[in-house]
Structure 1
C-alpha cells in the first residue's frame, strides 16, 4: 500500500445531543371572542392535580410542558409527583427528572436518577470509546453477499486507485505514466509517481479508455483522490507539498501531502491553491464533499489526531473561506488508521480503517451521519468489498447503487486495482416510518406540523414537516427504537416511542394532537376538548368509577371557570342489548353523572341530561348487523353538549 499517499485514520466523535427545548404558544386562559370560550387544557390538568387527583399520564404531560419550556423548577414538581406514583416509566424520564432536580439544587438525588437512567438505558456512555463486538466475524458474514463485483476496466500493471465521479466521468489516480528514462519512482513503494486520469462512463458505470487529466493539475509528484462540486467548476484534490514549482518539507526534510483547490475557467483548471489548514509538518489528504457542499471531509495526522491518522471535517463558508477542522471523534477514529472518507447524498459516511474489527489490512466501514453531527453505529461492509488485504476508496451512486472501490487483493492486475460493483441489497434493513397527523377533536389534517426524529438516547436523527395531506415520513433502520416529537403552534406538543420491526417495509404511526386551547360554542361537545369519548361505569351499573371521576373533574373545572355555561349530558349505548334495557341504563348513567356534578357544587339548573340508549347510533351497527368491537365502541359514548355560554 502506498505509504506516501494513503493516510490511515480513525475517527468519529461521540456527540451528546440532549436538547429538548421548544416553544409552545400559550394563550391566556381567560381570553374570549364573541360566542367562544378558550379552554386551556394544561391549566385544567394542573388545577385537577392540585386537588389531589393522580394520573401518570397527566403528571408526564405537566412535567413535559414545563421541561420543554425550560421551566425546570415546575418540571421538577410534577416529575416528583410522577415518580411518587410510579417508577414504571421510560428511561428518558429519569434523565429529565435528574436535570430538573439539578435546577433546584438537589444534586444528590439528581445523581441517583442519573445512575438509574444509565442502568435502564444500557449503561451507555457517549463519551466512552466504542466497544468492539466480540462476534464481529458473525456480523461481517451477515453483511456479505450483497455485491456483484468486477474489474473496473481501467487498471494497469501499476497502481490504480481512488476513483471519483465528475460529470458522468470517472477520475482516478494511476502510476502508469512511466514517462521518459528520467521519470522517477517513489523510494517507499518502488512505484512511479501518480497522476490523475479521466474516462467516460456509460449507463452501467463502465469506464471507457482513460486519458490524462488536466496538465495543470498533474505535476511531477503525486496527485490523487479528487472530489468535485456538482456543477463541475470546483475541485479539491490531494498532492504532494508542491505548488508553483516549489516543494515544501517538514522538520525531518520529508515532503508530505496536502489538499489543494482548483477552479475551472474556459475549460482549464486554474487558480490552484492549497487549503488554509494545510501545514508543512503534517499531512492532509483524500477530500470528500458533503452532498450540500458545505462540509469537506478529509484524512489527516494533524495535532489532535487520536491514532495514526483520523478523519476530520471542516465547514466551507459562503464566502469560500474555511472554518476550523474538527476531528470526527472516537466513534470512527481509533488508535489505528482511518482514511479515505466518502459521504453520499443519504448522509452515509464510508471510510477505510484498520482499527475497527475487520478481515485484515484496511476494511471499509459505514456509519449514518445524523442531522446534529452524531453518528450511528459503525458497520463493516462485509466480505465482498473487504478482504484480508487493503480495501479502501469506496464510493457509491445512491440512485443506481453502482460504484467503485480500490483493493490490492489477490487476483488483481497491478499494485492496487479499481473494482466496480453493483450493490444488490443495502447494508441496513430499512423501513418507511410514516403517518397522518390530525386534530384530536375535529379530525382535520394538520399540515406543516414539525416532526423531529430521535434515537432511543435522544440523539437527533432527522426532522421534517407534514405535507399538505398531514403526512410525515422518515426512513429508519429496522429493529431500532425511535422517539418522535410533534410540534405545532396552538397545539400541545406530543412525543411517541416506536420500535421498528426487523424486516424491510413500512410502519404506520398516525398521530392526533390536542389543542392547547379548545374553542367551543353553543352546540359543541365540551368532552372533545379533553378527548373524552365515554364516561366509564362498571358493567350494567351507573356508579361513577375513579377513572371516570378524573374525566368529570376536567368538565367540572371548566364549569367553575365559566359560571354561565350550561350543559346537556347525553349517554349513549351500542345496539347489543334490548332497546328498553339500553335506554334505561343510559338514562341512569346520565342522571348519575349529573348527580356527581351537583354533589361537587354545580347548580342543578345548569345541567340537563338524558339517556338515549341505541336510538342515536352514529354508524351502521344496528340490531342484527355484524360489526367489529371498534365499530360498536363508537356508539358507546358520553356527550357534554354546551347549551348556553
Structure 2
C-alpha cells in the first residue's frame, strides 16, 4: 500500500514540474513575441526590458542578442555592453557579435586589452578607436548648466538678435524621469507611441528669453518633434530652417507606418517665434528623411538618407535660387561613407559635421574639411570627440565654441557643452637695456617653473614658447655678465589668446661707485670725532649687510695750507677712517683709500677767498662710497632679496634705498623738537627761550640716555662771515646755558649754518617783514635717543609722534 502511494506521489510531482516548465516556456515565448513587436515598432526601451525578462526565464542567444541590439539603438552604453558580453558567451554567436561587443566596450569606456578582446587588423578598422586622433590638452568642454536638464538637450544656435535656441525633450512645466533620445540618424518613427522607444517626451525648440527658457511656437500642426534650428539672412528678413517630424494621420490606420523627418523654413518674428512656415521641396516624409539644414554662401546644406547615397544619412547641398532651389548634390566620398553623416555646420570656410564611421573614437565624432572639399575630412580629435556621441558643433558671434554630447553618461542623454581653454600659448622674449635681443644668444638660460618647482617644457621659436594653464609660475633667466632674473608669472584663466611677455636683463655694474655718507674733521686734524664715529659705524653696518660690496674712502682738506701739506693731511684722514672701520670688524681687503688734498672743494673757499668757518668745515671731509660688485668677472645676484629689476636706474634706486634704510636703522630716534629765537644781531638767551631750555633740562636729567642736538641760524642781514660767527655763538650760548644747569657737554652736539638754511625766503636783497626775519634767527633743538635705548622710555613717548619739549614734559 505504501509502495503504491509513493508511486502516485512521484507521478504527481513529475506532472507538476512538466506543467511549470511548459508554463515557463510558454510565458517566455509570449514575452519574446511581444518584445519582437516592440522591437519592430522601434520601441527599443520596452523591447530591451522584455528580452531581458525572457532571458531570465530561459537564457537564450536570441533573447540576449535582441536585448543587446535594443540597448545599442537607444545608446544605453552600459546595458549594451553587458548584454553583448552575455551574447558572445553563446556557442551560436559569431564574429560580428564579437565586434559588436568590442564596439560596445569602447563606448562604455572599457579597455579592450583589459577585457582580453583581440581583433585582427581588418576587424580593428571596424571598431571605434581603431585609428589614432589628435589630442589638444590645452582645452576642455564644460557642460553649460543653464541649458541642460535631466533629459536630452542639444543643438545650441543663436539668431542675429543674440537669442540662443536649442532642442530639448524636457517638459517645461514638469520634469520627467523618462530616458531621453536624440533626433538624429535614427531615421524612422512609428505611430503616436513612437517615443515609447525610450519613454521620453517630444523634442521642442526652446529659446532663452528675458523670462527664462521658453518654447518656440511655429505654425506647424500635428508635430511630433521639432529640432535643429539654424538661422540665415534672406535680404533684410531673418529666416530659420529647422527639422520637424509630423504626425501622419493617414498612416495611423496601421501600427507599422513610418514617419520621416523633414526640413522647414520660417520667418523669425520679433518675439523669436517662427512664422510663415514652408516645407523644403525635397521632403518625402513617407520615403526618406531630410534634416539638419544650414545655409552658407547661398547654399543650403542638409543631411538625408534619400536614395542614391553612400549609405545611411549623407550630406547634400542645394543652391538657393531666390524662392526655389537647385538639385540636391551629394557632397561625395570625401565626406560621406557607409554610416551616417549628420549635423552639418559651416564656419570661416570650413565644413564641420558628425559621422559614426568606425575610424572615430566612438559613436558620432565631429570632423572638419575645407568647404570647397579640398583635402580630406579630419577628425577634430580630443576633447572635441569622445568614445560616445559628439555632434552639433557651433561657433557663436563671440567666437565661443559649443557642441552637444552624451560623453560620460551610461544612458542616452545629451547635454550642451562649451569650450573652455585650459592653457594659453605664452611667448617669452629677453632683451638687454639697449633693446638687443638676448634670447637667441649663446649662454642664455630661461626656465619656467610651476608651483611645485618642476620645469615646464618650452620650445625655442622666436623666444621661448609654451602652453601654461592658470596658476603661478616662476621665470628664471641667466646670462653671464647680467643679474639673474627670477620673475613671478601669474597665468590667468585661459582665454585662447597668445600672450607675449618681454623681460629685460640688467648688466652687473662692475666697480660702480655709490656715495653713501661723509665724515667731517676739525681744522688741521685727522682724528675721528664722535659724530664721525657714528657715520663710520653706519658704514660698517652697511658692509656687514651687503658682503658683495666694498668701500672706498676719498678724503679732502680745506685750502688753508700748502698743497703738499694738505695732500698728506687728506691721506692721514683716509687712513684714520680705514683704521676705524677695521676696528669694527671690516676686512682690510674690502677697503680702498684715496686722497685729493684741497683740489676738490665743495664750495668757492679756495686760496685767497675769505670764507666763514662753517664753509671751510664742509671741505674737511672723507667721502664714503660703496664699490659695487668689485670682482670684474664675478657672478652676482641682485641685492636685498630682489628677484628682478628692469633697468640699471631701477637697480641703483633700489640699492640706494636699501643702504639708506640700513643707515636709518642705526640713527638715533628724534623724540621732540623745539625752537629758541633771538633778537636781531644777538645771541643772548631771551626769557621765552629760557622756558624752552628749562623743559630741555628737565628731560635730559629725567632721562640720562637722551641727547640734544643744537643747530643755530641767522637771518641774512649781515655778511656770511659775520653770520657764521653769530650762529656759532647762538649754539654755544645754548650749550653753556644747559651745561651750567648740570647737563654734561658730552650729551650735546652743536652745529651752525650762518644764513645758509633760511626758514623763510628772505635772502639778501629780498624785502621781508621783521616777523619773517625773526623766524630765521633761531636754534633748532632736537632731543634724540639711541634705538637701543628706546625701550627705556615710557610707552606714551614711544608712539612715534614728534612732540615739542613742553608736551614731552607733560
Q: What is the TM-score with the length of structure 1 in the denominator?
A: 0.39
More helix by share: 2
